[in-house]
Amino acid sequence: VSTSLWREMVHSRGEVFASAFCLRALDRPQFWMVRAGPPSQEGASVTEPWNGTRSELRAIFEKGEGFIQDPSSWRLCSKVVEEVRQRGLPHRVVDLCASPGGKSAALAWAGMQVVATDFKAKRLERLHETARAVGRGRVSVRPWEEIWQAAPLGMGGATQQKGSAVWPGVIW
């Protein structure tokens, strides 16, 4: 863990949590559960490693109360949201190769509007399932071809306009 990440975890969650997080990250438990935060607050929290049954997990997922995600993926999503907010960019994200949809869901839980895509039909089915269960109405699943057909050529110009690029049919 980098020094800056360590300091941030100690500051926000305490040294006991930071130590436990680092130790658990070394032996990579099979599942980590992301659960919804308080209804009045955007976002969620990564809980302890998930040791329940698959049927318990399925019930939590289907009720839209949580999903499985690796802590490093949750951290990445948190950093993306932080960057978007600090720069004052629109809260819109295109998630490419998004199946099974955990990062799309994490971004949606943090208040982002997400267009998620993948290139195989089975992966799109999985994305649809995740969007319905835990997308909170903020994840739109689109076919891969639709995203790339709408993408502007010469991305440099589009991305240098403070995130204001509009891809017809993809981002409104």
Burial of 114 (0-12, 13-18, 19+ CB in 10 A): buried
pLDDT digit string (tens) for 124-149?
999 999 999 999 899 999 998 887 76
Burial of 15 (0-12, 13-18, 19+ CB in 10 A): exposed
Q: Please count the other Cβ atoms lying within 10 Å of the Cβ belonging to residue 89.
A: 13
Give me the pLDDT at residue 170, please.
39
pLDDT digit string (tens) for 60-110?
999 988 888 877 788 888 888 888 899 998 898 889 999 999 999 999 988
Find out whether 170 and 146 touch, Cβ atoms under 8 Å: yes
Give me the pLDDT at residue 41, please.
55
Give me the pLDDT at residue 122, please.
95
Tell me the pTM: 0.68
pLDDT digit string (tens) for 31-70?
788 887 654 456 666 667 788 888 998 899 999 888 888 7
